[in-house]
Amino acid sequence: MKALWVLALSSLCVTAMADEIPTDVANNTVPVEEYTYSTHLDIAKVISMSEVPSVCEVVPARMEYEDSNGQRHILRYSVMGNGCSNG
């Protein structure tokens, strides 16, 4: 019975700690920007890019990058999938 109480109390503690989000992480959310042909891109360093699926259609893609001022950006754009054959 004591072990059951310890288990119940420890699960409550873990749940309470999981609800707390550090303020530095919560305040640093980067908005996702939609790419258009008129978008000025200032890409100094690419951090990550999403993989293009093997389908023969236009699919959404994401790129996270830093500009020349060191600020992070997330860019969403459209790309043709890699599943088309030329034949």
pLDDT for the residue 8: 60
Share of the chain above pLDDT 90, in %: 59
pLDDT for the residue 5: 60
pLDDT for the residue 24: 47
CB count in 10 Å sphere of residue 51? 7
Write down the CATH number for the domain with range 2-80.
2.30.140.50
pLDDT for the residue 52: 92
Q: What is the pLDDT of residues 4-43, one digit of tens each?
A: 565 666 665 555 555 555 544 455 688 999 999 999 999 9
Span 61-78, average pLDDT: 96
Listed by start position, the domains of the chain span 2-80
Helix (H, G, I), strand (E, B), or coil: what is residue 80?
strand
Q: Which residues are CB-neighbours of 22 under 8 A, at least 6 positions away?
A: none
Q: Which residues are CB-neighbours of 80 under 8 A, at least 6 positions away?
A: 57, 58, 59
Segment holding 74, helix H or strand E: strand 72-80
Predicted TM-score (pTM) of this structure: 0.62
pLDDT for the residue 73: 96
